[in-house]
Amino acid sequence: MSPPVVSSDLGIRPPPILELVGLRKSFGKQEILRGIDLRVWPGELVCVIGPSGSGKSTMLRCCNRLEEASGGQIVAGGIEITRAGADVNRVRQRVGMVFQQFNLYPHLTALGNVTLALRKVQGKSRAEAERLGLAALERVGLAEKAAAYPGQLSGGQQQRVGIARAIVLEPQIVLFDEPTSALDPELVGEVLRVMAELRAGGMTMLVVTHEMGFARDAADRVVFMDAGAIVEEGPPAVLFAAPCQDRTRAFLARHNRAA
């Protein structure tokens, strides 16, 4: 694992919020992740791009134990979350998740969805949970929709409720699994704006996305994955303008033609 940090005053980088070391995942004989090494630093927004089926979403799901890794280690906030006996509820409070398909409970209001884990996992009173939940909805611009049910909300509003649900637990990092792919094109912008605002506020984020404009404009670093491996990574200005690897160049060329 990473060596201890002596002092930030000496200019030494703080330890990563999230560290993947040799992460592997197989389903039966099919190897999906082939030894992923990745670090995400405090306050960083890392976008992961790549073709469908390259293992991007599986990697994210391993990071909060929705999928169990077949090998390697994942360390979040200095705690190895892949070790036997790790507290999964604690893991998911450290590592928030925003899903592609929203995953809201239809019988609960927006506020009810946001406060559920506060009450059931953290044991907070209804009054305290609702205070924190309303603050989270305010951060995503939906305080006025607190009493609305998911069926009464647009797709973009539902996804913003999903973001509020993730951030209300004050995680150390939030994972976004293609958060705009289920949205109509006219609704994509409102979700990306909220994500950009969270990033500006210093939130650490790991984002799987097909939104190349967002990756280019908002990310600190872009990671290109293909066939279960990281092919290359770097600042967006470098990776998009002058990728080093043939696979990256081919992927970006296909995307540019499609756009």
pLDDT in tens, 159-208: 999 999 999 999 999 999 999 998 988 899 999 999 999 999 999 999 99
- Show the tokens assigned to 68: 């169990």
Question: What residues form DSSP beta bridges with 97?
Answer: 175
Whole-angstrom Cα Rg for the chain? 18
pLDDT number for residue 8: 41
**Start-end of H helices in the chain:** 56-63, 88-94, 110-120, 126-139, 155-167, 185-200, 212-218, 236-241, 246-258
Percent share of the chain, pLDDT over 90:
81
Which tens digits make up the pLDDT trace of 231-246? 999 999 999 999 999 9
pLDDT number for residue 7: 37
End-to-end CA distance of the chain: 41
pLDDT number for residue 78: 85
Which tens digits make up the pLDDT trace of 110-127? 999 999 999 998 999 999
- Show the tokens assigned to 253: 């060329």
| Contact by Cβ (8 Å): 168, 132 | yes
pLDDT number for residue 11: 59
Apex 204 CA angle, 154 and 168, nearest 5: 50
Of 56, 83, 67, 85, give the one whose Cα is nearest residue 27: 67
